[in-house]
Amino acid sequence: MKASLPQLKSLLSSSVLELRFTRRRPKAGQALDRRMLCTNAHSLLDSLAGQAVFGFTQPTQAPKYNPASYNLIFTYDLFMQSFRAVNSESVDVLSVIPITTEDEMAEFWEYFNQSLAPMSAEQKQQFMRS
């Protein structure tokens, strides 16, 4: 599904998203598209588990430009464990995992522990390239 910049911001603040987007800076030998699991949900990222598992720390400075003026949104990539800028005009939302309640958060951690945590580095790379 396509999402506008405001819709994407809203989804990212309350969910973990699986996105596919066109790279802003293509890399030689790499696909033009990339896939990622990401979120901006502080309930997950600021939790003790989120900090330990995803290596999350609060950003210490704002970007030197206004990302919205370029239709960009910054989001935390759970596999790369850092923030990425994604162009909202070239993004497809593939799946949404809500994490607004304790039950939803528990379901996410169950999914993470069963499906994502056991992935090897190569499997994560394959996910991002697919």
When divided into structural domains, the chain yields a total of: 1
- Domain enclosing residue 115, as ranges: 5-129
Kindly report, residue by residue over 96-123, the tens digit of the pLDDT.
Answer: 999 999 999 999 999 999 999 999 999 9
pTM higher than 0.75: yes
CA atoms within 13 A on the CB side of 79: 21
Element (H, E) at 96: strand 91-98
**Number of neighbouring beta carbons within 10 Å of residue 23:** 14
Strand order in the sheet with 82-87: 82-87, 72-77, 33-39, 15-22, 91-98
- Tell me: the pLDDT tens digits for 22-51? 887 777 877 788 899 999 999 999 999 999
